[in-house]
Amino acid sequence: MLAPDLLRAEKPKQEAERVLHALEHTEEGVVMRFAPNPSGPLHLGHARAAYLNDYYVRRYDGHYVIRIEDTDPRRVEPENYGLLLDDIDWLGLKVGEIVYQSDRMDIYYEHCRRLIELGGAYACMCDAAYFRDLKLEKKACPCRNQTIEENLDLWDRMLEGEFCEGMITVRVKTDLEHPDPAMRDFSIFRIVDAPPHPRVDARVYPMYNFSVVVDDHLLGITHVIRGKDHIANTRRQRYIYEYFSWNPPVFKHYGRLSIGGVVLSTSAIKEGIVSGAYTGWDDIHLGTLKAIARRGIEPDAVRKAMIDIGMGETDITFSWENLFAQNKAIVDPKANRYFFVPDAVMLPVADAPAHIAEAALHPNEPERGVRRLLFEGSVILPKGEIEGRTMVRLKDLFNVNVAWEGERPALTYAGESLEEARKAHAPIIQWLPPGQARDCTLKTPEGDIEGYCEEAASRELNRVVQFERVGFSRIDSVAVDLVTAYFAHR
RNA sequence: GCUGCUAUAGUGUAGGGGCCAAUCAUGUCGGCCUUUCACGCCGACGACUGGGGUUCAAAUCCCCAUAGCAGCACCA
């Protein structure tokens, strides 16, 4: 006979995490970054970038820089910084340091001056639309021929506040003959008059492609993993690396991840919150991390789902199914079991003796204990489950016969024999004693399900439980007269 | 329109000339276990976008077609 604990030890089953391709050029260490901008909370799309970088940072024991890209005052709202930090915390990244681009304006200014001195950039006072037309015809604008001194002078005057928004910009000299119009003399600085930046007193702002190159270089970033929407940016950035004679990091671009069934757009979310269509950033219909956290999805499930997706350059559709499967594997061993009765009816059970049912908190771990449910004459049942039946078994209690007098069911005690219930193909269903039932709303993306749950489930606030035969759910709030739970998955 | 990237089962992935009548996960279906339609176990189903070419040999290399996507901002 085998010892029971030996049997248990035999199923480690911890599936090996997927191994992604190795990174090139890791000999001198790995420094990577996750670079969100604080225009709204993080969603599943961000999680891919965050976890893919995190994966390699951990694998190579590297350094992870979280860089908040807040160089557009119009897209920065002060409260978003906190939201962002919460999300990063939730993800559980191996954070090495957090830097804010808005703290580094002087660095960008200084490097812009150097770039102009190197002959790599010029101040352009052309109208944006006019410039675009020239660019498409591969023609230089008049400003392109200014001397370095003239450009430095204009740059100084820009910083001194001599120009208004839209009057002037700084452009990198690239190749006007470049077959891709997107590469030709792109802009690296602009002026924004309003609104003021919440963290820094500035009017001259670096554009993405400039601040990123300067930061990636100065922060020693060795590898960059980002979406393929940045592929053109990478090419543009190479011009700047070239001028400064810097070694660019290794770039990797993954394909587009389309996430169905959920709202991701920050602007749409904001509108929805204002109009009342959504309750907040964590509304169940959203794809924000806050929303999926509220639904009882664990960060590690997201991590695994994202690592499984990997770095493919193909466009893919995000699979909730796979995410739920990962989450179930994490949550099933921990979640205590309770009854939740939707579509409820209360019915007396004729001829039944009083009884105390003992239902395991977790069937695979009896040592966790039981819930005691006191049967005293009547039960609350899911009506749909007894319709058309002549016998059901109330789980952990006893069998009942169901008699139908037209629409009205009448229940009679039918003994405790499990074998009989099996023989009769009676389904084993959840039930509640009226004295231990709490009103419970189960929130799902498809709508609210009203019902009752066990009183004891109200002690599981903020935890994921399994409502037996219904699915895994997170107990979201417990009020005197109502328990609210968020449905995660079956 | 211009530039570029990609194309393996329902979904996601592995495979980068022969070991591939193609891996793993998920899903679906069937069975076992079980006082949950959970977990676990067993089994089945299911794919190389199409057409040319190179080669003794192509999912793998080349070309064309098709499809999808991205960029072409004084956003990030």
In CATH, what number is assigned to the domain containing residue A163? 3.90.800.10
pLDDT at A10: 31
> Would residue A468 count as lying in a domain?
yes
Which nucleotides of strand B are protein-proximal, with an atom < 7 A from a CB? Answer: 1-8, 10-15, 25-27, 34-41, 68-76
Q: Please determine, for residue A5, whether its predicted confidence score (pLDDT) is greater than 50.
A: no
pLDDT at A1: 30
Residue after which a domain boundary falls, among A139, A169, A203: A203
> Would residue A234 count as lying in a domain?
no
Distance between CA A120 and CA A38 in Å, rounded? Answer: 30
A14 touches strand B (CB under 7 A): no
Q: What values do phi and psi take at A399, rounded to 5?
A: -90, 150
Tell me A18's DSSP state.
P
Our measurement of CA A313 to C1' B65, in angstroms, reads 22
A482 touches strand B (CB under 7 A): no
pLDDT bucket at A81, cuts 50 / 70 / 90: very high
pLDDT at A211: 97
> Would residue A137 count as lying in a domain?
yes
Task: Say how many domains are in chain A.
Answer: 2
> Would residue A94 count as lying in a domain?
no
> Would residue A127 count as lying in a domain?
yes
Residue after which a domain boundary falls, among A173, A203, A233: A203
In the 166-185 segment of chain A, residues within 7 Å (Cβ) of strand B are: 166-169, 179-182
Residue after which a domain boundary falls, among A203, A220, A244: A203
A334 touches strand B (CB under 7 A): no
> Would residue A281 count as lying in a domain?
no
Residue A337: C-alpha distances to residues A179, A334, A365, A373, A464 (Å): 63, 10, 11, 13, 10
Specify the CATH number for the domain of residue A379.
2.40.240.10
Say if CB A399 and CB A415 are below 8 A apart: yes
Q: ipTM, 2 decimals?
A: 0.93
Strands A187-191 and A169-172: antiparallel
User: Quick count: other Cβ atoms within 10 Å of Cβ A215?
Assistant: 23
pLDDT digits (tens, 9 = 90+) for A151-209: 999 999 999 999 999 999 999 999 998 888 889 999 999 999 989 999 999 999 999 99
Alpha-carbon torsion (A31, A36, A42, A43), positive or negative: negative
> Would residue A238 count as lying in a domain?
no
> Would residue A225 count as lying in a domain?
no
A96 touches strand B (CB under 7 A): no
**Cβ neighbours for A482, distance < 8 A, ≥ 6 positions apart:** A438, A439, A440, A441
Residue indicated by tokens 């960060």:
A299
Domain containing A176 equals 106-203
